[in-house]
Amino acid sequence: MTDFLDTPQGRRIAYNLLKGKGTGIVFLGGFKSDMSGTKAMHLEHWARGQGRGFLRFDYSGHGDSSGAFEEGCIGDWFADAAAALTTLTEGPQILVGSSMGGWIALLLARAMPQRVAGLVTVAAAPDFSEQGFWAGFDDAQREAVMRDGRVEIPSEYSDEPNVITRRLIEDGRDHLVMNQSLVLPFPARFLQGTADEDVPVNWALELLDHAQGEDIRLTLVKGADHRFSSPECLGLIEDAVTELLR
């Protein structure tokens, strides 16, 4: 059953929390995604079978949470995740971050490593507002987003275009993780498909090279796309979480 958390910033966050024993799992979804996606629901079912706690939630402007998507930015969604993690869970958790959720998970790991028992990323997209959107804009798009505060680009997942705002771009620059030290003092597992057209494989390789820690591994899956939701891919996510729970 969906519950709601009122954050210190005045936003209302929808969440589902499964109680369990031992270290729990927190799922962090992607850009314009919600907590009812395939990976989140699959992991919740798996966690229930393992007797583990599991938290999934919608960032503000996503799913059933308050706010308009176009008004949000990385800093807002990071604050939503921090409020959910600190308020709704106890002790260190396994963070599972998908796409943008991988960036959010890395921000949480940097800000509060004591609350992270381990990290699993799936097609992580750290700094995507800068190295994805801004780097991919042509001169006209850059001028438009700075002048008008927004620009529309086609979406592969919806008939509606993605609206990229100046606030998203500028706030993203305040939350970059690839331009400074990134220490992960806990086990981390990065999963990446080679057929991902949204997050290039070289981003995963750069993250592996950039992150500092004693137990960090990258698994490349030939032919897997950005969704990473085939039965085989879902099994790999399970395996990664299981390994970190031992």
> Average pLDDT over the chain, rounded to whole?
97
Report the distance separating Cα 243 and Cα 235, nearest Å. 12
* All residues at 6 or more sequence positions from 103 whose CB lies less than 8 Å from its CB, including other chains: 74, 97, 124, 125, 126, 127, 128, 175, 177
Residue 185, token pair as written in the block: 């003092």
Per-residue model confidence as pLDDT tens digits over 221-241: 999 999 999 999 999 999 999
Per-residue model confidence as pLDDT tens digits over 175-207: 999 999 999 999 999 999 999 999 999 999 999
> Residue 121 in 3-state DSSP?
strand
The single residue listed with the structure tokens 């260190």 is: 92
Per-residue model confidence as pLDDT tens digits over 67-96: 999 999 999 999 999 999 999 999 999 999
Q: Which amino acid is at 137?
A: F
Report the distance separating Cα 182 and Cα 204, nearest Å. 14
Q: Which amino acid is at 90?
A: E
Sort residue 82 into left (φ over 0), alpha (ψ -120 to 50) or beta: alpha
User: E strands of the chain, at which residues?
Assistant: 3-6, 12-18, 24-28, 54-57, 93-98, 116-122, 150-153, 162-165, 188-193, 216-221
Catalytically active residues are 99, 196, 226
Q: Which of 183, 182, 199, 181 is nearest to 191 (CA)?
A: 199
Per-residue model confidence as pLDDT tens digits over 133-183: 999 999 999 999 999 999 999 887 788 888 999 999 999 999 999 999 999
* All residues at 6 or more sequence positions from 28 whose CB lies less than 8 Å from its CB, including other chains: 81, 95, 96, 97, 98, 101, 102, 104, 105, 108
Q: Angle 166-173/139-148 helices, nearest 10 degrees?
A: 100
